[in-house]
Amino acid sequence: MNSLGLFFATQNRQIEGRQLFEGSIHLLKKAEPNTLQPNLQAWMALFEQLDGDFDAAQRSIQASLETVKQLEPTIAKYKATKAFVSLQHGNLLVNSSPEVAVIHYQNSLTLLDRDADPWQYAEGLFGLGMAHYNMGNYVQPKTFLEQCLDLREKVGEKRKIAETFAALSMNANWRGEYDLAVQLAHKANHLYQELGDRINRARGLGDLGTSYTWADKPDEGLPLLEESLSIFEDLGDQVMVARAHYRLTGCYGKTGDLENCRASAQRCVELSQAINNYALLSQGYLMLGMASVCEESFDEAGTFLSKAHKIAKDVKQVGIEGLITSTIALVDVSRGHLTKAQNRLNQSLRIALEYRDFATITFNFVGQASFWLALAEKYPDQQTYQKQAIVLTKQSYAFPLYNPVHLDRIIGRHYQALISELPPEFITAVQEESRSKSVWE
């Protein structure tokens, strides 16, 4: 019964697996309470989490922890059992409290032997990478995920290798390594399609579609993302449906389809609330805020972005918090609160540079451009303001994560008004001077 449960776990069939584990736990209470029972309780927590029943998952993980406490440390399986329970506890919290999840993953790794149990050790490394990713730190995940990939390739389980390529692709997107992200997503998709089942097909298509969106090829990404969503909806996987809607918001935004962007962002918010996925919830509110900014509905944008910022701060999503802060600065500029906008932009930029968060830097460019354009308009005799406005506007268009039409609406028209009043040789000189500088300077 336990083996069948584990089989269903690897096949993403959580309903059958959950039923089998319930039966196993009932039998083990009489037969072998000291070893397998906490493992099965931890598996139950995972299945309940996948079903969206987070209260039940929390109860199961607590029961597992209590069972582990009752074990004698001298029992041969004690360390392995405690490591597995710590790992599953991290998995339960990685999307809602990633900072706490890091502690559980680290505890798990200290109990595991990399050579003796490479599968479990790789799981811990993957969890650590995703926890740091959810916190918006895009430096450390690369190291953890590459170590995880090395182990998983030695073990040879295709689905886990594909999962790691996909995670590395997502991390590369946020670092601005778009070509690498597409290559990694292709590798993930190839392995997922080889597995043959629908849920893995949907995963592969979603990863590849997302990488195309980031690489400024939303027309190529959109059909892949829509097919991925359709499969997840058919399968009833609410966690993956929420994530698929989030991915679609970015793609719809890049194609200029704000109506569908809003609809998918709203659906992402609703589902994320239902399944307690706070990492995804903050991003759903962020996308609603961005859609409102693109429509110049700044009061509405401020409401959505405030919600996004509070959630991101609560769950320690430092990188996402920086991205949200950059976008709130646009609202500040629209209200004439320039000092407040400047403070937010400086704070956001510090975070982005520390965590190598290229996505936040590109959004920061837009906020900075809006800020300096407002200053240049307010003080038309200040060449320093004019220079900064020109440089930041050009940077915003060079690394666009907004649709160009929306970018024109946010900063483009103000830029055109500025340069229409300036000598052409002044504009050329400023642009030439800025070309030699790196984004990271």
Q: Is the pLDDT of residue 344 over 90?
A: yes
Task: Categorize the per-residue pLDDT at 435 as very low, low, confident or very high, splitting at 50, 70 and 90.
Answer: low
E strand or H helix at 373: helix 358-378
Lowest mean pLDDT among 15-19, 105-109, 156-160: 15-19
Better pLDDT: 147 or 23? 147
Task: Categorize the per-residue pLDDT at 9 as very low, low, confident or very high, splitting at 50, 70 and 90.
Answer: very low
Residue found under tokens 């997502």:
170
- The Cα–Cα gap between 56 and 33 comes to 21
Q: Is the pLDDT of residue 22 over 70?
A: no
Lowest mean pLDDT among 108-112, 123-127, 231-235, 395-399: 395-399
The count of C-alpha atoms lying within 13 angstroms of the C-alpha of 348, restricted to the half-sphere facing its C-beta, is 29
- The Cα–Cα gap between 120 and 148 comes to 10
Q: Is the pLDDT of residue 368 over 90?
A: yes
- Most confident range, picked from 62-66, 217-221, 235-239: 217-221
82 close to 102: Cβ distance less than 8 angstroms: no
Q: Is the pLDDT of residue 339 over 80?
A: yes
Q: Is the pLDDT of residue 438 over 70?
A: no
DSSP string, 95-154: TT-HHHHHHHHHHHHHHS-TTT-HHHHHHHHHHHHHHHHHTT--SHHHHHHHHHHHHHHH
Give tens-digit pLDDT for 72-126.
Answer: 665 667 787 888 888 888 988 888 788 999 999 999 999 999 998 999 999 999 9
| pTM, entire model | 0.83
278 close to 314: Cβ distance less than 8 angstroms: yes
Nearest 10 degrees: CA dihedral of 107, 108, 113, 118?
-140
- The Cα–Cα gap between 344 and 338 comes to 10
Task: Categorize the per-residue pLDDT at 46 as very low, low, confident or very high, splitting at 50, 70 and 90.
Answer: confident
Lowest mean pLDDT among 85-94, 98-107, 202-211, 431-440: 431-440
Residue type, 374: A
327 close to 293: Cβ distance less than 8 angstroms: yes
Residues of 336-365 as b/e, b for ≥16 C-beta within 10 angstroms?
A: eebeebbebbeebbebbbebbbbbbbbbbb
Task: Categorize the per-residue pLDDT at 397 as very low, low, confident or very high, splitting at 50, 70 and 90.
Answer: confident
Give tens-digit pLDDT for 349-367.
Answer: 988 888 888 888 888 999 9
Q: Looking at residue 41, what is its pLDDT?
A: 76
Q: Looking at residue 35, what is its pLDDT?
A: 60
404 close to 366: Cβ distance less than 8 angstroms: no
Mean pLDDT throughout 140-159?
Answer: 96
Mean pLDDT throughout 235-253?
Answer: 93
DSSP string, 22-63: HHHHHHHHHH-TTTHHHHHHHHHHHHHHHTT-HHHHHHHHHH
Q: Looking at residue 310, what is its pLDDT?
A: 95
Mean pLDDT throughout 318-326?
Answer: 87
Nearest CA-CA partner of 398 in 437, 427, 346: 437
* H-assigned helices in 236-277: 238-255, 258-274
Mean of pLDDT over the chain? 86
Structure tokens at 197: 């089942």
Q: How many CB atoms are closer than 10 A to CB 46? A: 21
Where do the domains of the chain lie?
317-441
